[in-house]
Amino acid sequence: MKYDLTKKPTRGAQRTLASFSTTMINLLSKEPFEKISVNKICNISNFPRATFYNYFDDKFDLVDYCWYVIAQEIEVDKVTELKSNKTLIIYFDRLYDVFKDNQPLLDNILLYNDFSGQLVNSFVNYFKNTVQEILEQSIDYSKTGLPVELMADHCSETVILVLKWIFLKRHDADKKLAHEYLEKLLNLDQFI
């Protein structure tokens, strides 16, 4: 992304970024990602292409920014500050809530975008990598005797697997049942 997200954005930048990301999310719920063009995004957002390219390299970059916005909603930075073995459950719960709150949007996006397509893979990979980074920094894996990176990768894959199974593949499971699945798949006693 061309825009530096580590700096506090100006009000103008906030409006521009919000407009582009909102437009992209709305378009994704109406048509396949592959058919969305930068021109269409700019026309609907009412910004010239030059403005788009001041912020993003391409539409893939904008989609990554959309996932970043969702991650901010989950307050990822506050989870990493905990430095606790409970981080996995807290992050899982926050992701579960965001997916649950946005289920109609996810359903619409899946109507137009193939489950195994670029868009869904981008979404899943973004959150898997985010979970992995958090878990590498915050969970004590010393009881496992395995490398931290390997365990963090395993745990992040499993977190995303459970959420994907419930929300993207549409299997009904409340948060309690989702916890049971996660605990059984990960044998969480070794971490908590």
Confidence (pLDDT) at 85: 61
Name 157's Cβ contacts closer than 8 Å, sequence gap at least 6: 128
Question: Tens of pLDDT along 77-101?
Answer: 565 555 556 778 888 998 999 899 9
**pLDDT-wise least confident of 75-79, 108-112, 178-182:** 75-79
**pLDDT-wise least confident of 21-30, 39-48, 107-116, 130-139:** 130-139
Confidence (pLDDT) at 151: 86
Q: What is the pLDDT confidence band of residue 136, given thresholds at 50, 70 and 90?
A: confident
Q: How would you class 188 by CB atoms within 10 Å of its CB: exposed for 0-12, middle for 13-18, buried for 19 or more?
A: middle
Question: Tens of pLDDT along 6-31?
Answer: 899 999 999 999 999 999 999 999 99
CB 119 within 8 A of CB 109: yes
149-177 average pLDDT score: 93
Confidence (pLDDT) at 145: 83
Confidence (pLDDT) at 143: 73
Quick check: 182 pLDDT over 70? yes
Confidence (pLDDT) at 135: 82
The CATH number that domain 11-65 falls under is: 1.10.10.60
Confidence (pLDDT) at 24: 97
CB 113 within 8 A of CB 164: no
Domain with CATH 1.10.10.60 in the chain: 11-65
Confidence (pLDDT) at 81: 57
Question: Tens of pLDDT along 26-60?
Answer: 999 999 999 999 999 999 999 999 999 999 999 99
Confidence (pLDDT) at 83: 52
Confidence (pLDDT) at 174: 97
